[in-house]
Amino acid sequence: MPTHAKPASLLSALRPRSQDRLYDFYRDLRNTDELFWDRHLNAWIATSHAVVSSTASDPRFSSVRYPDIEAVSEELRPLARVLSRQMLYSDAPDHARLRALLSRAFTPRAVAALRGRISDAVDRIITRAEPAGRLDIVADLARPLPLAVICDLLGVPEEDRPVLSSWSDPIAAAIGSSRLDADESRTASQSMAEMLAYLRELLTREDGPPAPHTLRALLATGTENPDQDFDELLANTALLLIAGHETTTHFIGNAALALLDHPRAAGQLRDRGDLIPAAVEELLRYDSPVQLLLRRARHDLDLAGRSIAAGQAVLLVCGAANRDPAAFPDPDVLDFERPGGRHIAFGYGPHFCLGAALARLEGAVVLEALLTRLPDWKLDGAAPRWQNSLNFRGLTGLDIAFTPSPAPSQEPYAGPVDRIL
Ligand code: HEM
């Protein structure tokens, strides 16, 4: 029951070491109140599964992130203008139109066709690490793999991928931060401008027709449509690039850490491959890569017994909702046979993650490969560190050790992972 005691600020999650105890902190917040006003963030904070899921899909709320672009700082404004054209930060009818345009590239069928290539890429990364018996799961696997997959879908040549990543990182950091300084804002805006210039050139490059049914082919139909605004298409291509890899990187790292922390659950999964799809969902629930969704009240309204004023922001804490005992009994237990319960790691409602099928596939392939090929893996070295972000939950590195295998007689592939796909 809510006590209406004066709640803490969500910003406390950014205190040193708070990320190590994030879910205890969320539990305290939720036990105090499922919806409270955070004067430091100037936003309502929703922590229960019921309020988070209902608000995410409530048409009384908007997903527009910057309702008044002129109020945004001069340094951040160029980035804000681009983000405002992305489906993630749009409402109907623009949202539905953009989603319809791009969703065909992410149907379960289109995504399933990628399994073989993703699996080959993961195998090669592990093969490369086997002689040393060491792997940084974040740097060597979780970062390069999703970037390679989304770049492959977009037709980005291998040699251009590192620079795309160098633009994407400051943009993702800006999206994930509640307190950006002028330099960070300027860097994020500049990175977005360079990414868009690159994508403009990529999508108009005359290098023959793209393979049919690919995302690149879909984008080509968009560029040829005189009714389609090209800048809007570019802004949404940038969204796919950024959303398509930062989140999946965190998912792979967080899932691997959860399995290392729960050897019995890892053993169960090793013995029962049929549990992998359920394990992917449970691992997404257990330690969600995206912790916050933002919604804004379109008009004065009531929510969970509170009066929300028009324009006020509500931060939906998916990470707290996914550990709500009212939705998930024993929420802090990692249980691959958990009955029912719908996690919100991919959001809920009209903005439900467009890339969910792809992220699930990448997760499943990685889990299967790690568990079968590195049965005696263990943490190596210092305890893993969390990135300090309110919005994204992910590790800065995850070093593991395992029994080395002799190098194969054939020289293993030693080039960048980008070349694999
Ligand atoms: C585990 C990995 C991922 C997680 C946890 C994740 C999470 C999310 C969440 C929570 C949302 C909803 C945001 C909201 O309601 O405001 C979302 C939307 C979105 N995601 Fe993902 N995502 C992941 C992977 C991907 C991938 C691989 C792609 C693309 C290749 C992608 C593309 C998108 C897009 C385009 C949207 C906006 C959809 C819309 O506005 O209709 N995501 N994602």
Q: Is 375 left (phi over 0), alpha (psi -120 to 50) or beta?
A: alpha
User: Measuring from each residue's beta carbon to the nearest atom of ligand 1, which residues come in under 6 Å?
Assistant: 56, 63, 87-88, 99, 150, 239-240, 243-244, 247-248, 251, 289-290, 293, 345-347, 351, 353-355, 358-359
Tell me what pLDDT residue 228 has.
81
CB atoms within 10 A of CB 206: 5
Residue type, 144: P
Tell me what pLDDT residue 410 has.
52
Pocket residue to mutate for ligand 1, from 98, 247, 318, most atoms within 8 A of Cβ: 247
Question: Is the domain 10-419 a CATH 3.60.15.10 member?
Answer: no
Tell me what pLDDT residue 39 has.
94
Nearest ligand 1 atom to alpha carbon 290: 5
User: Ligand 1 atom 18: the closest Cα is on which residue?
Assistant: 353
- Give the C-alpha distances (Å, rounded to integers) separating 236 from 84, 192, 196, 244, 263: 10, 12, 10, 11, 40
Rg, Å, the chain Cα set? 21
- Give the C-alpha distances (Å, rounded to integers) separating 145 from 67, 125, 150, 199, 361: 35, 9, 9, 20, 12
Nearest ligand 1 atom to alpha carbon 295: 16
6-36 pLDDT tens trace = 557 999 988 878 888 999 999 999 999 999 9
Name 417's Cβ contacts closer than 8 Å, sequence gap at least 6.
Answer: 121, 124, 125, 144, 145, 148
- From CA 392, how far away is CA 169, in angstroms rounded? 12
Tell me what pLDDT residue 411 has.
53
Compute the distance from residue 243 Cα to the ligand 1 centre, in Å. Answer: 6
CB 270 within 8 A of CB 258: no
Tell me what pLDDT residue 419 has.
45
- From CA 111, how far away is CA 360, in angstroms rounded? 10
- From CA 101, how far away is CA 358, in angstroms rounded? 17
Tell me what pLDDT residue 4 has.
47
Compute the distance from residue 420 Cα to the ligand 1 centre, in Å. Answer: 25
Compute the distance from residue 271 Cα to the ligand 1 centre, in Å. Answer: 31
Alpha helices in 205-293, H assignment, sequence order: 215-224, 230-261, 263-271, 276-286
Per-residue pLDDT of the chain in tens (421 residues, 90 and over written 9): 444 455 579 999 888 788 889 999 999 999 999 999 999 999 999 999 999 999 999 999 999 999 899 999 999 999 999 999 999 999 999 999 999 988 888 888 889 889 999 999 999 999 999 999 999 999 999 999 999 999 888 888 889 999 999 999 899 888 877 678 999 999 999 999 999 999 998 888 777 777 666 677 778 777 777 778 889 999 999 999 999 888 999 999 999 999 999 999 999 999 999 999 999 999 999 999 999 999 999 999 999 999 999 999 999 999 999 999 999 999 999 999 998 779 999 999 999 999 999 999 999 999 999 999 999 999 998 889 999 888 999 999 999 999 987 665 555 545 555 444 4
| In the chain, where the domains are located | 10-419
Nearest ligand 1 atom to alpha carbon 153: 30
